Structure 1
Amino acid sequence: MTSARAQAAGLGGLKAHLKAGGRLFGSFLNSGSPSVAEMMAAAGYDCLMIDAEHSPIGIETMHAMATAIRSGGAWTLVRVPAMDPVWIKRALDLGVDGIMAPAINSAAEARAFVAACRYPPEGYRGVAVPVIRASAYGVNAADYIREANEALLVIAQIETARGVAEAEAIAATPGIDLCFIGPHDLSASLGHMGQPDHPEAKAAIAQVEGAVRKSECWLGTIPTASRAADRLFAEGYQLVLGSADLAILREAVRAQIERVKPSSRSS
């Protein structure tokens, strides 16, 4: 299976793929395993999201995982733990293709996120181009400095009641490329923990979808019980993260144990 990444490699290839009407099917990575990351990339995922928000993944592990994902042929995305300029700077220096900040709740927060992602004069990202992985440790320094600001996919996660109310302003913020709806946190924010398909959560998601479609932003999310990945793509989403490596492993383990347990009990 050939990933879209292999067909549009290079700095800015991810955004070029989206601008050409391409879709991205990916997965979260929470295990912290470079080997798993490389295998999942090689298997054909278009992109993989290293999740530093809900895992023990640190910057050294993120480095190894980003290297493995590139080796496997997928685009590398990272979700930082918070809209923290220090985390953002360190993640971007690894040469990721896209970055997501959780719980962006206003246009002001969206602007701050964009500024942390961009070199001056458009932002305040620290400059260490001669030594970072993103520029091949300085080998591609000139190209990287010229293209980095526009090449990076900047993803604002909308996952709270406040974020829903501010979705139109967030999506209209210059530099925000994609709005990613988090149905589980959003439903919890609305008082319906564990019910991402609750009618109130669905109404809020539809509100965000309508707001984002008024802008030039792309849409992303995860599937729920009522909306599988293929349906989400059919409804106009450009990025769907179908699962997480640990969830895939858990279900495979459970399935294997269920197959073996009856014979084990009878022996």
Structure 2
Amino acid sequence: MYRPNILKQRLKNGEKVFGSWNVLASAFATEVMGYAGFDFIIIDHEHGVGDMTTLGHQFQALSGTGTTALVRVPSHDSAYIRRTLDLGAAGVVIPSVNTAAEARAIVQACYYPTFGSRGAAPGTIRASGFGAEAGLYARTANEHTLVICQIETVEGVNNAAEIAAVDGVDMIFVGPYDLSASAGFMGEMNHPEVVALIEKAEAAAKQAGKSLGSILRPSVSLKEVYERGYQMISTGSDSTRLRAACLADIAAFRQATAADAA
């Protein structure tokens, strides 16, 4: 059923939130992560393996938990954004936003008229309980939709002030890995030139009064990044967490049986 976007309200209140990425498109893995207690999960349709059917199952899996479901869409395609929101996403993460014009088009795709131009079918979509709460959804969807623009190119950083100033953009999410690649230092997220670009994007978001989000860079702690003014940090994913747990168990097994092998 339709529920208020608690995550968006917490961000408006200035709270700090913590979450994870999800790339495996497994409803069961998503449910496990929800019950673990993450504030939000970003289901990744840019690099993940899911489709609209698996996405719907993942939303269903999270509906019994306190975790908010966000989706990183694969592009700026307004139809994909609309379908994602209609299915029940509390918000969308848009990759590689490079100009204010792009940000304005994204806002148009995310919000109902008159603020935006999102196509409306509240009587039939899952987001409104398949019409059970059509009137409430139509009146409040704009208020509860979270719009997050990723800055992850040099062009995007250079236009970050204008992007952040666009009405309807709730958060600037800095993507340090892609930004390092765009700057010519792929993977060197702590390179001085990359750090300078990150700091420029941070300053633009703060100047516009928008929330800041990102992932953790190597050697930067959660405490440090929150102290820099970030409100939303998303680390790891279902795949990396599963792999890390498997590797830890295998290492423990090998250590325990090393004497036998000697």
Q: Is the structural similarity TM-score above 0.5?
A: yes
Letter in 1 for 2:261: S
Pairing 1:213-252 to 2, within 5 Å after superposition: 213-252=206-245
Scaled by the length of structure 2, what TM-score is found? 0.95
Percent identity for Structure 1 against Structure 2: 42
Pairing 1:124-143 to 2, within 5 Å after superposition: 124-143=117-136
1:116 pairs with 2:117: no
1:64 pairs with 2:54: no
1:20 pairs with 2:16: no
Pairing 1:251-262 to 2, within 5 Å after superposition: 251-262=244-255
Tell me how far apart the structure 2 counterparts of residues 185 and 42 of structure 1 sit (CA, whole Å).
Answer: 31
3-state SS of 1:193 partner: coil
User: Which residue does 2:190 correspond to in 1?
Assistant: 197
Unaligned runs of 5+ in 2: none
User: Which residue does 1:83 correspond to in 2?
Assistant: 76
Tell me how far apart the structure 1 counterparts of residues 62 and 192 of structure 2 sit (CA, whole Å).
Answer: 37
Unaligned runs of 5+ in 1: 1-8
Letter in 2 for 1:157: Q
CA RMSD of aligned residues (A): 1.4
Letter in 2 for 1:16: Q
Q: Which runs of 4+ in 1 moved over 3 A?
A: none
Tell me how far apart the structure 2 counterparts of residues 202 and 226 of structure 1 sit (CA, whole Å).
Answer: 13
Q: Indicate conservation of the 8 Å contact 2:19/2:41, yes or no.
A: yes
**Shift in Å, 1:96:** 1.4
Letter in 1 for 2:142: N
**Shift in Å, 1:89:** 0.7
3-state SS of 1:93 partner: helix
**Shift in Å, 1:122:** 2.0
Q: Indicate conservation of the 8 Å contact 1:220/1:240, yes or no.
A: yes
Q: Indicate conservation of the 8 Å contact 2:5/2:68, yes or no.
A: no
Q: Indicate conservation of the 8 Å contact 1:81/1:101, yes or no.
A: yes
